Amino acid sequence: MLAAAAASAVLLLTTPASAAAPTPGAAGAGDTYYPTYGNGGYDVTHYDIRLKYQPATDRLEGTTTILATATQDLSRFDLDFALPVSEVLVDGHRAAFTTSGEQELVVTPAAPLAKGSRTTVVVRYAGVPSSVSRYGFTAWLRTPDGGVAAGEPESAWWWFPSNDHPSDKATFDVSVLVPDGTQAISNGLLVSQRSQLGWTRYSWRQDRPQATYLATLALGRFDITTGTTASGLPVLNAYSRDLGANDGAARASVERTGELVDWLSGYLGPYPFDSVGGYVPNVTTHFALEAQTRVFYSPAQFAAGSNTSVVVHELAHQWYGDSVSLDRWSDIWLNEGFARYAQWMWSEHENEGTAQELADYVYASHPADDPFWTVKPGDPGPDAQFDIAVYDRGAAAVQALRVAVGDDAFFRILKGWPAEHRYGNATLDQFRSFAERISGKPLGPLLDTWLFTPARPAAGPGPATTA
Ligand code: ARG
Ligand code: ZN
């Protein structure tokens, strides 16, 4: 018996890896901040999202078709989703599915998927997104005339099943049927708009890779404006017809998108996408989101008058965040530090304070015992991902980098990084190496001081200030 057991153990050890039994894909993409976000075992290449929406009731129904490639022999896999599902097909065959945790949709295909094989997953669903809460909140924003999907990191769960992590980018088609008089706004180019039987179908296409949190959908009564930038890029903006006193300031800001994107191109390189614009729905929230090619703005941002600064911030993200995306959420500084820094450059351009003055102000206005300095912009933790320190100390870090490497190298880094990783993903470590290569200077100590130390740096972010 002992000898026989030993013999079969040897047999097991020598079995070729390719004959191993298919295994379940992981329930998360391995993110240290959000272990269950995203999934393992496959890579999505395209989402085709085809929906119907009734603004009176907030009912959303339809089908998402996902094109993916298995990255292991898969017995089952997860999607991230929160609406009720009625049917899942994998390569045309009905698949079993269950839900687990807050947002896992666990799919078991009739037959396992072989590593490297391309697969088509169809998910049919219907629900009222504003009534669905996960982790105690709802990222779907209900408006008086419809609804909006916008949030970071979460928003996809309320409108399409996905591999919800920025490390898995894909192209998107989003096509939504709404009652005549309601508009449906999404990313990229509006490729068709057709009415029949009292309903209008809006079909949008994003043909460059897009992270799932950067996909957006807005349904409501909008006034849509179109044009082109001076450099010939199509611009499409949309304003809720219900912005009240904020309408003028919203338009006076967002209508400058074309001018601002061309201005940013001078520093960040060619704009990476084939369309640009923003939308301002009638929501009561206070944030903006750099949805790819179609930025989400809250009316509150325009309550004090025009705000080109927020437009510059969200447009800068099109390079820093959207074209070059995070591989893990802990690297959020790569997005927010640079988007805030772009605002500072715009302030300088507008004679409202130079980047150096603004960085010095951040340093001077927070004394050493201010909890502001306890947040590490390079690793803020999931609860402080969007803390003001990630933005302001993060941008001061960019200024400190600029002072350390000199303007010539700095502007080559600023423009070179989005070119180096265009349409891809990159990490903060890769940024450090890149900046060291371009500047020829070791930057480890400087970045550690500004990004990874929970204390006020001993010296300010420039030649003019010291502690
Ligand atoms: N990336 C966004 C910005 O700074 C922040 C979004 C914060 N998310 C939220 N749901 N409040 O423009
Ligand atoms: Zn931002």
Cβ pair 188, 172 in contact under 8 A:
yes
- Short-list 168, 273, 271, CA closest to 211: 168
Integer angstrom CA distances of residue 192 from 201, 272, 404? 8, 22, 50
Angle between helices 247-254 and 308-319 (to 10 degrees): 40
Strand segments, DSSP code E, in 144-290 are: 146-149, 170-179, 183-185, 189-196, 199-210, 217-220, 222-228, 234-240, 278-280
The C-alpha atoms of residue 40 and residue 30 are separated, in whole angstroms, by 8
HSE-up of 138 (CA within 13 Å, CB side)? 13
CB 203 within 8 A of CB 183: no
Ligand 1 atom closest to 285 (CA)? 11
**Among 154, 157, 287, residue to substitute to test ligand 1 (most atoms within 8 Å of Cβ):** 287
Q: Return the pLDDT at 464.
A: 52
Reference 389, options 330, 431, 336, 312; nearest CA is 336
pLDDT of residue 20: 78
Note the pLDDT of residue 463. Answer: 85
**Ligand 1 pocket member 168 (CB < 6 A):** no
Question: Which residues have C-beta within 8 Å of that of residue 305, sequence separation ≥ 6?
Answer: 249
Residues 56 and 315: their CA atoms lie apart, in Å, by 33
What does the angle CA 244 – CA 213 – CA 225 come to, to the nearest 5 degrees?
40
152 lines ligand 1 (CB under 6 A): yes
Q: Supply the pTM of this predicted model.
A: 0.95
331 lines ligand 1 (CB under 6 A): no
pLDDT score for 292: 99
Q: Strands of 359-459 (E only): list them.
A: 425-426
Q: Tell whether ligand 1 has an atom less than 6 A from the beta carbon of residue 151.
A: yes
Contacts of 381 (CB under 8 A, 6+ apart): 33
User: What's the rounded Cα separation, in Å, for the pair 97 and 435?
Assistant: 46
Cross-strand pairs, 315:
none
Whether the CB of 215 sits within 6 Å of ligand 1: no
Instruction: Please give the structure tokens belonging to residue 22.
Output: 């298919």
Contact at 8 Å (CB) between 300 and 285?
yes
User: Which two three-digit tokens encode residue 411?
Assistant: 């502007």
Structure tokens belonging to residue 399: 């200024």
By residue count, the chain amounts to: 467
Question: In sequence order, which residues have a C-beta less than 8 Å from that of residue 380 and are 6 or more positions away?
Answer: 330, 332, 387, 389, 390
The verdict on the CB of residue 154 being under 6 Å from ligand 1 is: no
Instruction: State the pLDDT at residue 4.
Output: 40
pLDDT tens-place values along the chain, 467 residues long: 333 444 444 445 444 455 579 999 999 999 999 999 999 999 999 999 999 999 999 999 999 999 999 999 999 999 999 999 999 999 999 999 999 999 999 999 999 999 999 999 999 999 999 999 999 999 999 999 999 999 999 999 999 999 999 999 999 999 999 999 999 999 999 999 999 999 999 999 999 999 999 999 999 999 999 999 999 999 999 999 999 999 999 999 999 999 999 999 999 999 999 999 999 999 999 999 999 999 999 999 999 999 999 999 999 999 999 999 999 999 999 999 999 999 999 999 999 999 999 999 999 999 999 999 999 999 999 999 999 999 999 999 999 999 999 999 999 999 999 999 999 999 999 999 999 999 999 999 999 999 999 999 999 998 854 44
- The protein residue whose alpha carbon is closest to atom 10 in ligand 1 is 151
